[in-house]
Amino acid sequence: MGQTLSIAIDRTQWGKINILMVSLVWEKRAIPLSWSLLPKLGSSNITEQMNAIAEILPLLKDYQVVVLGDREFCRRRAG
């Protein structure tokens, strides 16, 4: 494995438009690699998140990848 790259996953909603985006973090900037319109309002689910990340991971197979996300992307444990 080579250089370490950071990717950020984020979701934003503008009125009735809900976008899930995966970006490459490079020199204090986020460069969009993939985005999709979600067919619903509100938070994304784990399946949508995994699909978004899985779409770009083959492009980064020669790198170690760190995935960054806010609390929407944390898996919660019961208890």
pLDDT tens sequence for the chain (79 residues): 679 999 999 999 999 999 999 999 999 999 999 999 999 999 999 899 999 999 999 999 999 999 998 888 776 555 4
Distance, CA of 78 to CA of 2 (rounded, Å): 37
Look up the pTM and report it: 0.83
Segments making up each domain of the chain, as ranges: 4-73
Contact 41, 67 (CB under 8 A): no
What pLDDT score does 70 carry? 85
pLDDT score at 1: 64
CATH topology of domain 4-73: Nucleotidyltransferase; domain 5 (3.30.420)
pLDDT at site 17: 95
| Sheet of 17-26, strands arranged across | 29-37, 17-26, 4-14, 64-68
